[in-house]
């Protein structure tokens, strides 16, 4: 008899190999939407008056953007954040009407549909501002309006802009030498009714408290200069999960909740349970073949693993094509029938092998790579450590041929 890691209920071997197999695909990521809502609610309670933006870029960190977005809004988030406009349009197409911010753009962007769909735009340069103005102006021309009332065509509202400031991360955003020109151009276009600067933001390095507080001071200086140029941004944001939890000063009017919403900790020294968060994703595969081999049998490419004695090998249909890190070879943990084993030999494109020694394992048995460690299975952090990376990457890289199922 074994224990199911999701329900904590006892199941017999026949249940695992017959009923469960009939219902469970070869590759499965189960997403607990109740955990998503719980995590948002947990962090939001700590944020005081600051609003919470749920960041669902990169397909919701691999969890599914639309489903996660809805669960996050149910949990108290008032904003959604994505990397690019296409991600935002996917949310709008699903019927989500909440405010959405997109902040990474093509070199020659066409913002027409973003403006039409009332998507807030993170803007880093005067060139991007002009592209926003062109889109807004085009929608005001004959045939370009998208709203009617009583037969009368109405011009769309001005485009909504958040100016992105580089406060030291060295990535996107206007440098201090560009602030004056950026603010002046934004004020001109705002006076023409083409756009409204509703926000300003930056991104912390999370290097240390001293560096992050210096970034906060730089953003505050930029906001003051922008207001001196005639702008009146009211939505000021800087902190993601790590900054919001460790540096209350950085919460400002809105925090961007990313990894914490998925129940994973952004810190090396504090786990998710200590933060009151519940991991939302459980990734599992199936044993598709079992064989008994002799001692000193080589396993997988290069024979980087050899059996110490006569042993049972279980083959699992997951590989680096599914986002399973090859660096986890001979290092990463998996859970089978209530016991934890280590991946044996090199992880291949579509499969990997587990030496279960003398344990009884059958074709069809569930193999859990990671999930909520409170249920006894490995954590995403365990795989991150084995692959010398971070938990963000482990969940985000989960591939497209892995079926995602949602539960509450």
Residue range(s) of every CATH 3.20.20.10 domain in the chain? 33-271
pLDDT of residue 1: 38
Answer whether CATH 3.20.20.10 is correct for domain 33-271: yes
Please say if the pLDDT value at position 284 is more than 70.
yes
> Is residue 282 within 8 Å of residue 80, measured between CB atoms?
no
Handedness of CA 81, 86, 92, 96 (dihedral sign): negative
164 is catalytic: no
**Distance in angstroms (rounded) separating the CA atoms of residues 174 and 164:** 6
Higher pLDDT, 111 or 5: 111
pLDDT of residue 140: 85
Q: How confident is the model at residue 155 (pLDDT cuts 50, 70, 90)?
A: low
pLDDT of residue 275: 97
Q: Among 13, 57, 291, 406, which one carries the catalytic annotation?
A: 57
Please say if the pLDDT value at position 20 is more than 60.
no
**Distance in angstroms (rounded) separating the CA atoms of residues 28 and 235:** 39
pLDDT of residue 142: 67
Task: Summarize the annotated binding site for substrate as residue ranges.
Answer: 171, 349
Residues 62-74, mean pLDDT to the nearest whole number: 98
Q: Residue 275, SS3?
A: helix
User: What are the pLDDT digits (tens) for 302-335?
Assistant: 999 999 999 999 999 999 999 999 999 999 999 9
Look up tokens 């991360």; give the residue: 169
Query: Mutual orientation of helices 33-46 and 65-74 as an angle, nearest 10°?
Result: 50
User: What are the pLDDT digits (tens) for 231-261?
Assistant: 999 999 999 999 999 999 999 999 999 999 9
User: What are the pLDDT digits (tens) for 342-377?
Assistant: 999 999 999 999 999 999 999 999 999 999 999 999
Residue range(s) of every CATH 2.40.37.10 domain in the chain? 2-30+278-407
For residue 170, count other CB atoms closer than 10 A to its CB.
Answer: 9
The full DSSP string for 74-125 is HTT--EEEESSHHHHHHHHHTT--S-EEE----SS---HHHHHTT-EEEE-S
> Is residue 379 within 8 Å of residue 368, measured between CB atoms?
no
Q: Among 13, 291, 301, 303, which one carries the catalytic annotation?
A: 301
Please say if the pLDDT value at position 13 is more than 50.
no
Q: Chain-wide mean pLDDT for the chain? A: 92
For residue 135, count other CB atoms closer than 10 A to its CB.
Answer: 23
Answer whether CATH 1.10.3430.10 is correct for domain 2-30+278-407: no
Task: Summarize the annotated binding site as residue ranges.
Answer: 171, 349
Please say if the pLDDT value at position 130 is more than 90.
yes
pLDDT of residue 156: 72
Residues 143-150, mean pLDDT to the nearest whole number: 50
In eight-state DSSP terms, residue 157 is: P
Instruction: Give the CA-trace dihedral at 83, 84, 89, 91, to 10 degrees.
Output: -10
57 is catalytic: yes
User: What are the pLDDT digits (tens) for 298-310?
Assistant: 999 999 999 999 9
């Amino acid at each position: 008899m074994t224990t199911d890691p999701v329900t904590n209920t006892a199941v017999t071997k026949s249940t695992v190999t017959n009923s469960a197999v009939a219902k469970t695909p070869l590759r499965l990521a189960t997403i607990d939407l109740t955990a998503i809502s719980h995590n948002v609610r947990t962090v939001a309670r700590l944020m005081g008056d600051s609003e919470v933006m749920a960041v669902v870029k990169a397909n919701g960190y691999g969890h599914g953007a639309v489903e996660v977005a809805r669960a996050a809004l149910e949990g108290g988030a008032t904003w959604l954040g994505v990397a690019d406009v296409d991600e935002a349009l996917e949310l709008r197409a699903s019927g989500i009407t909440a405010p959405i911010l997109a902040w990474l753009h093509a070199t020659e962007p066409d913002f027409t549909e973003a403006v039409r769909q009332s998507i807030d735009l993170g803007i880093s340069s005067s060139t991007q501002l002009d592209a926003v103005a062109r889109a807004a102006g085009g929608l005001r021309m004959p045939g370009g309006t998208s709203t009617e009332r009583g037969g009368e065509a109405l011009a769309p509202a001005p485009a909504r802009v958040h100016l992105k400031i580089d406060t030291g991360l060295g990535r996107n955003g206007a440098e201090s030498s560009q602030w004056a020109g950026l603010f002046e151009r934004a004020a001109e276009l705002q006076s023409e009714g083409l756009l409204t600067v509703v926000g300003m933001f930056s991104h912390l390095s999370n290097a240390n408290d001293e560096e992050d507080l210096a970034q906060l001071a730089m953003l505050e200086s930029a906001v003051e200069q922008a207001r001196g140029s005639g702008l009146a941004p009211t939505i000021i944001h800087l902190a993601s999960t790590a900054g919001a939890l460790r540096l209350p000063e950085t919460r400002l009017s809105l925090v961007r909740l990313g990894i914490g919403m998925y129940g994973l900790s952004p810190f090396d020294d504090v786990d998710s349970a200590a933060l009151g968060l519940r991991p939302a994703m459980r990734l599992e595969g199936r044993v598709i073949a079992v064989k008994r081999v002799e001692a000193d049998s080589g396993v997988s490419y290069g024979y980087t693993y050899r059996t110490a004695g006569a042993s049972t090998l279980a083959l699992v249909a997951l590989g680096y094509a599914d986002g399973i890190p090859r660096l986890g070879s001979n290092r990463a943990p998996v859970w089978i029938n209530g016991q934890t084993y280590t991946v044996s030999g090199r992880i291949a494109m579509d499969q990997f092998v587990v030496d279960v020694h003398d344990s009884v394992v059958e074709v069809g048995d569930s193999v859990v790579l990671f999930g909520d460690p409170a249920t006894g299975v490995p954590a995403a952090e365990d795989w991150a450590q084995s692959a010398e990376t971070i938990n963000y990457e482990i969940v985000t890289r989960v591939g497209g041929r892995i079926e995602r199922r949602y539960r509450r």
